Amino acid sequence: MLLASLNPATVAAGADIPNAVSVGGTTLSRSDLLGAATSVAERVGGAGRVAVLATPTASTVLAITGCLIAGVPFVPIPPDVGVAERAHILTDSGAQGWLGELPDDPAGLPHVPVRLHARSWHRYAEPHPASAAYIMYTSGTTGAPKGVQTSRRAIAADIDALAAAWQWTPDDVLVHGLPMFHVHGLVLGLLGSLRIGNPFVHTGKPTPQLYAQARAEHGGTLFFGVPTVWSRVVADPDSARALSSARLLVSGSAALPVPVFDGLRALTGHAPVERYGSTESLITLSTRVDGERRPGWVGLPVRDVQTRLVDETGAPVPHDGETLGQLHVQGPTLFDKYLNRPEATAEVLDADGWYHTGDVAVIDQSGMHRIVGRESVDLIKSGGYRIGAGEIETALLGHPGVREAAVVGVPDDDLGQRIVAYVVGDAEPEELIAFVGQQLSAHKRPREVRIVDSLPRNAMGKVLKKELMR
Ligand code: MCA
Ligand code: AMP
């Protein structure tokens, strides 16, 4: 059973806890959660796919849990999504309605509200492990986001593998304040907790002060963050020290800078566990509670996952800790496909079942992996968000004052990379930043727009982005 802690038979037999989920000022016991989510399941059962506005609220938790009980794939939508991105996601996914919170503009789709106080004790058969749990939209280097379809089996395999690596048990109290529309916050945070059976606390935002408070008020033991979160914790020594008594601090979604790793160790006494993955593969590499946690390295393959490192011809690259190669991963945690995009799927998922991550890595003789960077400059990681340069360029070109646009990620101490757009045209930078926010999600807005006379191009007319990143 995917959400093992919500097994109706064991909950009915008394396996309840008062604080299964705390989010947005509401705390749900396990039986409350099961009863209310089963009531949601009754109302959405039979639907093909539904959109869930992924706010950090009890309503969202119940919507998602209800879909998983009923076996209805859900499509998490960023709450701040802009008009163009939302229209694409709704059309591409074929979502039949909104479940839970309703956005300002429902785009003509019907709405099924979630009732916090409704209860049903109907017992659903567990959906097939190979069936889709959700469709999650993620950016590529070009074009609109693609819908990653992930099975229940993949999620279960990944959570169990991480539980083994992190010694994650029902005695943990998991805390994070990350978005509920990405793997990190949704799959590991919420679904992980509902599978393992530990209390889950969502802090709304992942600020150092709220993490410190969750340690004190909820007894948080296991804290998740993207590197930006940990860097802000290090910059707030009082909050950092409050996390000393936690069990494990886990970083992922982007490279954790070595000074942040060292700062966390100095202030909290914890060497953070670093892990690596993607929307497509879920989490495939991690350091372990009982193993080496080496700054700058993301560890070993998790259970049942294999990795390989190859050069441009596909030939294996030596595991000497120095030679760069393209990282491929294989195992039970991989996605099924990009929805409606067989060619795009075939580009990254080969006939032997290896996922080509697009990341460049090294592996040392002990099997430790270090992620060196991306093969393409057009996939930007900012604050742990994956952002496609092409998607932002297309949005900018939709503005009448823009003739040419090139978007790059430039190094940033806080965010890892920050989005900078070079534009040929006569619009105001502030207007363009707001325009992108209207069309796409807020986190896809360029931090800076530089108006230039021309873009540097090679003889073929291709923009020389490396020159813009200097
Ligand atoms: C942001 N702001 C802006 C702009 N961008 N204002 C004007 N122009 C812009 N271009 C505003 C924000 O709205 C915010 O305003 C303020 O500036 C500060 O923004 P920011 O620096 O971004 O800080 P933040 O809002 O506190 O966000 C930082 C964050 C966030 C919390 C770390 O980036 C985040 O939640 N990241 C997590 C992403 C994630 O979960 N990725 C996982 C992907 P105001 O203060 O008024 O709001 S899943 C994955 O990667 C895999 C599977 C894995 O390995 O986990
Ligand atoms: P997403 O689909 O948003 O999860 O983005 C996946 C990408 O994030 C990966 O392909 C990597 O480029 C990057 N990533 C995730 N975790 C790490 C990590 N621990 N270190 C470096 N890069 C990471």
Closest ligand relative to 274 C-alpha: 2
Q: Does 263 lie in the same domain as 158?
A: yes
Cα–ligand 2 centroid distance for 276 (angstroms): 6
The pLDDT tens digits for 380-399 are 999 999 999 999 999 999 99
Contact 445 CB / ligand 1 (< 6 Å): yes
Number of structural domains (the chain) is 2
Do 355 and 458 belong together in one domain?
no
Strands across the sheet containing 369-374 = 306-310, 325-330, 355-363, 369-374
Same domain for 221 and 162? Answer: yes
CB of 253 closer than 6 angstroms to any ligand 2 atom: yes
> Quick check: CB of 278 below 6 Å from ligand 2?
yes
Q: Domain check: are 173 and 56 in the same one?
A: yes
pLDDT tens-digit map of 205-253: 999 999 999 999 999 999 999 999 999 999 999 999 999 999 999 999 9
The phi and psi torsions of 129 (rounded to 5 degrees) equal -60, -25
Q: Is the CB of 178 under 6 A from ligand 1?
A: yes
Quote the mean pLDDT of the chain: 97
> Does one domain contain both 112 and 191?
yes
Residues 171 and 153 both lie in one domain: yes
Specify the CATH number for the domain of residue 58: 3.40.50.12780
- The CATH number for 405's domain is 3.30.300.30
To test the pocket of ligand 2, the residue of 381, 387, 391, 415 to mutate (highest count of ligand atoms within 8 Å of its CB) is 381
One domain for residues 358 and 414: no
Cβ 369 under 6 angstroms from ligand 2: no
pLDDT at 470: 79
Closest ligand 2 atom to 279 CA? 2
Same domain? 20 vs 134: yes
**Number of the ligand closest to the Cα of 282:** 1
Final residue belonging to a domain, choices 343, 370, 397: 370
Query: Nearest residue CA, atom 4 of ligand 2?
Result: 278
Residue 177 near ligand 1, beta carbon < 6 Å: no
Q: Give the pLDDT mean for 125-140.
A: 97
Considering only CA atoms, which residue is closest to atom 6 of ligand 2? Answer: 278
Listed residues 318, 351, 370: the one ending a domain: 370
pLDDT at 181 over 90: yes
- 346, 370, 394 — which closes off a domain? 370
Residue nearest to atom 20 of ligand 2 (CA): 255
Structural domain for 400, as ranges:
377-468
Whether the pLDDT of residue 375 is over 90: the answer is yes
Q: What is the pLDDT of residue 363?
A: 98
Ligand 1 pocket, 416 CB below 6 A?
A: no
Say if CB 21 and CB 61 are below 8 A apart.
Answer: yes
pLDDT tens for 24-36 read 999 999 999 999 9
Q: Which of 213, 204, 201 is nearest to 27 (CA)?
A: 201
Query: Is residue 54's pLDDT more than 90?
Result: yes
- The response to whether residue 272 sits with its C-beta less than 6 Å from ligand 1 reads no
Specify the pLDDT at position 105: 86
**Ligand 2, atom 13: closest residue by C-alpha:** 254
Percent of the chain surpassing pLDDT 90? 98
Do residues 193 and 253 share a domain?
A: yes
Distance CA(411)–CA(325), nearest Å, equals 22
The answer to whether 223 touches 189, Cβ cutoff 8 Å, is: no
Q: Is 120 left (phi over 0), alpha (psi -120 to 50) or beta?
A: beta
Same domain for 366 and 383, yes or no, is no
397 and 332 in one domain? no
Q: Is 298 in the pocket of ligand 2 (CB under 6 A)?
A: yes
User: Closest Cα to atom 18, ligand 1: which residue?
Assistant: 443
The reply to whether ligand 1 has any atom less than 6 angstroms from the CB of 429 is no
Which amino acid is present at 45? G
Block residue for tokens 């209390």: 199
Which pLDDT band holds residue 142 (cuts at 50, 70, 90)?
Answer: confident
Mean pLDDT of 55-82: 98
Which pLDDT belongs to residue 277?
98
Establish whether residue 326 lines the binding site of ligand 2, counting it when its CB lies within 6 angstroms of any ligand atom.
no
Indicate the top mutation candidate among 136, 162, 176, 178 to test ligand 1's pocket, ranked by most ligand atoms within 8 A of CB: 178
Residues 294-349: pLDDT tens digits?
A: 999 999 999 999 999 999 999 999 999 999 999 999 999 999 999 999 999 999 99
Residues 125-135 have a mean pLDDT of 98
Give the Å distance between the CA of 47 and the centre of ligand 2.
32
> Does the CB atom of residue 284 touch ligand 2 within 6 A?
no
pLDDT at position 367: 98
pTM of the model: 0.97
What is the whole-number distance in angstroms between the Cα of residue 191 and the centre of ligand 1?
Answer: 22
Residue 251 shares a structural domain with residue 144 = yes
| pLDDT value at residue 338 | 98
Beta-carbon contacts of residue 67 (< 8 Å; ≥ 6 apart): 40, 41, 44, 50, 52, 73, 74, 99, 134
